[in-house]
Structure 1
């Protein structure tokens, strides 16, 4: 996915959280999503390095 799409998802979730009054939930979800994105990027890099070795 593109980075702008992640931004769009974050914006939509932010608007929903403001309407429902669950700002803390939005912030915690944001931290979780950022962590998962970092893990995914690292795994993709590891896979690319592994493929180059073989």
Structure 2
């Protein structure tokens, strides 16, 4: 998924959390989402590196 969609989802969740009064929950979930996106990006990069290395070895 494109990174601009993460911003759209974050804005929608931010608006909903503002009206429901769950600002602290939104902030904590935002930290978790950022961490998961970073982990996902790192794993994708490592996977692509491994595939490139295997193709060179063959």
**Rg (Cα) greater in structure:** 2
Q: What does 1:32-47 align with in structure 2 at a 5 Å threshold?
A: 32-47=32-47
* Aligned structure 1 segments of 4 or more residues deviating by more than 3 angstroms: none
- TM-score, normalised on structure 2? 0.89
Structure 1, gaps ≥5 residues long: none
* Matched residues, number: 54
Structure 2, gaps ≥5 residues long: none
Tell me the alpha carbon deviations over residues 3-52 of structure 1, each in whole angstroms, 9 at most, x when there is no partner: 22111100000001000000000000000000000000000010011101
